[in-house]
Amino acid sequence: MASQFGLRLVTPRAALVPLTFDGEGWAPYAQLAGLALPVQIETSPADASVKERKKSVVFSEDLLFTHRGLSGPAVLQVSSYWREGQPVRINLAPGSDLAATLLEAKRHSRKLIANELGALVPGRLAEAWVGQDSKLQGPVSDAPDKILQTLAGRLTDWQLTPTGTEGYKKAEVTTGGVDTRDLSSQTMESRQPGLFFIGEVVDVTGWLGGYNFQWAWASGFACAQAMAMSMAVKGPARGG
């Protein structure tokens, strides 16, 4: 309808939605389905400059592993900013200095690396991580410093590129829609007199936490007030 009246549109897409990964690349992590943990996540690429990373949006929320990819509040939040082909960066142990802790453990522990790591992140995650590298199978005391530092780096700056999202069947909202430049911010009336747009069909998308509900109610209220005022000014319609 907006197109019919020449209004500008921002391409709609699913938002607040789980991210998916291809089968082969995701195979080592599919076994973690159901595991949740607090993380930090952002969308800046690996080669982003310091200035670019400062502009990126970082979320500190819970992440959930699924059979097809990643979900949970952290991923849903960042999905609204993610674009096809763009990597995401995840710190699976925020607030911890994994490298320093593992290097300290090397000095006095004979435990396996997986066991030491399991004290810092969920045990299933630790097992999945060390299981991908034969160099990580032995005691932490036998591991070269560089190996332990690389392990810590991968866990605190895990970079991976989603192949897509779960789409509208799992999405909580739509981002994109009728361009706000073609709408009154006070009445929600468009450049086409008498035509109003509210809620999710407008290019306004909030974070998790009720913001999208609030936008739907607030824009609906503004529209109704404007329509009521217009009818009061024009008076009751005459005729049959």
Q: Are strands 69-71 and 158-160 parallel, antiparallel or unpaired?
A: unpaired
Average pLDDT over residues 69-81: 96
3-class DSSP state of 230 = helix
SS3 of 124, please?
helix
Going along the chain from its start, the domains and CATH numbers come out as 3-12+173-234 (no CATH), 17-165 (2.40.30.10)
Q: Which residues contact 236 (CB under 8 A, 6 or more apart)?
A: none
Q: Which residues, in sequence order, are bridge partners of residue 10?
A: 177
pLDDT in tens, 157-193: 999 999 999 999 999 999 999 999 999 999 999 999 9
Task: Please say if the pLDDT value at position 238 is more than 60.
Answer: no
73 vs 16: CA distance, rounded Å: 8
In this structure, the number of other CB atoms found within 10 A of the CB of residue 130 comes to 21
Give mean pLDDT, residues 188-217. Answer: 96
At 36, list the tokens: 């949740």
Percentage of residues of the chain with pLDDT beyond 70 = 92
* Nearest residue to 82 via CA among 172, 202, 164: 164
pLDDT score for 41: 97
The pLDDT value recorded for residue 230 is 85
pLDDT digits (tens, 9 = 90+) for 112-166: 999 999 999 999 999 999 988 888 989 999 999 999 999 999 999 999 999 999 9
Q: Which residues of 166-176 are buried (b: 16+ CB within 10 A; e: fewer)?
A: beeebbebbbb
> What is the pLDDT of the chain when averaged over all its residues?
91
Q: What's the mean pLDDT in 30-58?
A: 80
pTM to 2 decimals?
A: 0.87
Residues 233, 202, 163, CA angle at the centre, nearest 5°?
175
Helix 145-156 crosses helix 123-130 at what angle (to 10 degrees)? 120
What does the angle CA 79 – CA 94 – CA 78 come to, to the nearest 5 degrees? 5
For residues 139 and 113, the answer to whether their CB atoms sit within 8 Å is yes
Q: Residue 20 is inside which H or E element, if any?
A: strand 19-20
Instruction: Tell me the sheet residues that pair with 37.
Output: 63
- Whether 240 has a pLDDT exceeding 60, the answer reads no
Per-residue pLDDT tens over the stretch 34-46? 999 999 999 975 5
